[in-house]
Chains A and B, each alone.
Chain A
């Protein structure tokens, strides 16, 4: 399938609506990234999404996009809540997979001599890898409450500080959540996983501030100087979220086989807006999202204990921000000169609201929403801010990370976990992993160049750089 693009700018391309496309597709990419998108099915999948009912304005493909299931990873698409739809494939299986960043007053030179022991402490306290189980016992009533109250539940139980909820998207709780829409199987899968990392590309990373691009914004967010030590967490809603997505894909198939039969891809199965199915999915997705925020909150809580036991008050970790990159939100956006409520699906994309947005904590509302882009174990991660231009260009969204360029099988053929660990240690980056083979699959070379992704995002006006952080210690499942 060949799509012809018009160039909108140095980092933006527009594929006009043709055939059964209801809206155009806008791609944020350099020529290099566009070439890589053309080598997998990202463009074809994005084009398929533009055929869904009630889609508005345009679909936006991010610079780190790659082929996914139904929706490509890295796509933003917004649908009318009366004539459109909500689609689990547009959020992904790992509902509210996301990233959070916390900053300390420690300096790299204080931490480095104790880094190996610190990583071991983290590994003992933050359970990771296949079959990892929580150190926190949840009753069924606890789980129900957590699913509906999100991070506020953590605060009530002493697992959060008062400012933590404010520094999460949605303040760590989507109000549409209804615990009764989460199946027994989803609960059984998730109840023992709160505060665990999982495996795959999830991580806890000890970082140091490397480069500060916007000193004023960085200082407002707590990043004062290069060498300052931070902690980044990448995890999601674990088995509970995965099951919610599966449950609703199956329910849509059973209740609306007519609709699924017409789709170019079964994974695009959707619930028509306004239907009980759509309402239930939104409620269950919101509950799973709340679980995801609580999961990252608990991981931070455990990490805080480790840091403070070792470094005292200097080791206190202050949450900077927490972003979701697999989620659907009900948001107001301008379409054809008028404001509309829309179901904004972000799959492998991050909300990046502009300065002045009421959704941003008051303390830095004038800056814009913080955005976190993790790279790979061997490269930097970025703290950025949302922009006004992004609101129109991408529904206030930007990239979510580096994106893979090599499959896991190819990575296992090319690297061993031992080689990856040794190569990183030569660069003074320590790694503690639950699985050597899992480590090989996450070799830095399997990811796109995050610098290029950030350069394009900023060049396209859908985020702006604040600071780069480099890994010094990595905990992986």
Chain B
């Protein structure tokens, strides 16, 4: 999200949307999770960087539910444009402290 806005943590949660995704593997789930952020920007003019009350259920299929929050794009300071999420070099690794996730986006 740092490639869209410099300080995503400072975006107030004025807008919310339900989150419900289903995918056949974790990579697809992650892809869809990030892709939906881009779609909402183009379609609805909102940037939703925060995800709360997340419930991940193992699969296949994998499901992710929760709530996205953010603000209208007009209120957000932007930097570059992320055109797309890619699978290139995508890594999702479970570690003792949590998850390590690496994603390459097209800018």
A441 to B3, CA, bound (A): 10
- Known contacts A200-B107, A408-B3; is A131 also within 8 Å of B73 by CB? yes
CB distance from B87 to the nearest CB of A (A): 4
CB distance from B36 to the nearest CB of A (A): 10
Cβ of A412 and Cβ of B81 under 8 Å apart? no
Cβ of A412 and Cβ of B79 under 8 Å apart? yes
Instruction: Give the residues in chain B near A245, CB-CB below 8 Å.
Output: 84
Interface string of A236-265 (1 = CB under 8 A from B): 001100110110011001000000000001
Instruction: Give the residues in chain A near B88, CB-CB below 8 Å.
Output: 68-70, 265-267
Binds A, one of B8-16, B40-48, B61-69, B94-102: B40-48
Cβ of B78 and Cβ of A129 under 8 Å apart? yes
Which residue of chain B lies nearest to A249 when distances are taken between CB atoms in the complex?
A: B87
Instruction: Give the residues in chain B near A361, CB-CB below 8 Å.
Output: none
Interface string of A421-451 (1 = CB under 8 A from B): 0000000000000110110010000000000
Cβ of B79 and Cβ of A435 under 8 Å apart? yes
Which residue of chain A lies nearest to B43 when distances are taken between CB atoms in the complex?
A: A188
Cβ of A131 and Cβ of B86 under 8 Å apart? no
Which residue of chain B lies nearest to A408 when distances are taken between CB atoms in the complex?
A: B80
A188 to B40, CA, bound (A): 10
User: Of B4, B27, B42, which is in contact with the most chain A CB atoms at under 10 Å from its CB?
Assistant: B42
Interface status of B29 (Cβ within 8 A of chain A): no
Instruction: Give the residues in chain A near B52, CB-CB below 8 Å.
Output: none
Interface status of A117 (Cβ within 8 A of chain B): no
Interface string of A183-195 (1 = CB under 8 A from B): 0010011101100
Cβ of B83 and Cβ of A69 under 8 Å apart? no
Interface status of A93 (Cβ within 8 A of chain B): yes
Which residue of chain A lies nearest to B2 when distances are taken between CB atoms in the complex?
A: A409
Interface status of A477 (Cβ within 8 A of chain B): yes
CB distance from A149 to the nearest CB of B (A): 23
A114 to B36, CA, bound (A): 43
- Size bracket, chain B contacts: 20 to 34
A396 to B26, CA, bound (A): 41
Interface status of B35 (Cβ within 8 A of chain A): yes
Please report which residues of chain A, range 153-205, place their CB below 8 angstroms from some CB of chain B when the two chains form the complex: 185, 188-190, 192-193, 198-200, 202
Which residue of chain A lies nearest to B76 when distances are taken between CB atoms in the complex?
A: A130
Cβ of B79 and Cβ of A267 under 8 Å apart? no
Instruction: Give the residues in chain B near A199, CB-CB below 8 Å.
Output: 78, 80-81
Instruction: Give the residues in chain B near A92, CB-CB below 8 Å.
Output: 106
Interface status of B74 (Cβ within 8 A of chain A): yes
CB distance from A344 to the nearest CB of B (A): 22
Interface status of A318 (Cβ within 8 A of chain B): no
Cβ of B107 and Cβ of A69 under 8 Å apart? no
CB distance from B81 to the nearest CB of A (A): 3
Cβ of B42 and Cβ of A441 under 8 Å apart? no
Instruction: Give the residues in chain A near B39, CB-CB below 8 Å.
Output: 185, 188-189, 239, 243
Instruction: Give the residues in chain A near B43, CB-CB below 8 Å.
Output: 185, 188-189
Instruction: Give the residues in chain B near A190, CB-CB below 8 Å.
Output: 42
A432 to B87, CA, bound (A): 34
Which residue of chain B lies nearest to A69 when distances are taken between CB atoms in the complex?
A: B88
- Known contacts A69-B106, A130-B4, A200-B107; is A477 also within 8 Å of B81 by CB? yes
Q: Given contact pairs A246-B85, A408-B107, A434-B78, enumerate 13 new A-B contacts (beta carbons under 8 Å).
A: A93-B84, A94-B106, A130-B4, A130-B41, A131-B45, A185-B43, A188-B42, A245-B84, A250-B28, A253-B28, A266-B27, A412-B79, A441-B80
What are 15 inter-chain pairs, A to B, with CB distance below 8 A?
A69-B87, A69-B104, A93-B83, A94-B106, A185-B43, A189-B39, A189-B43, A243-B39, A246-B84, A265-B88, A266-B27, A266-B90, A438-B80, A441-B79, A477-B81
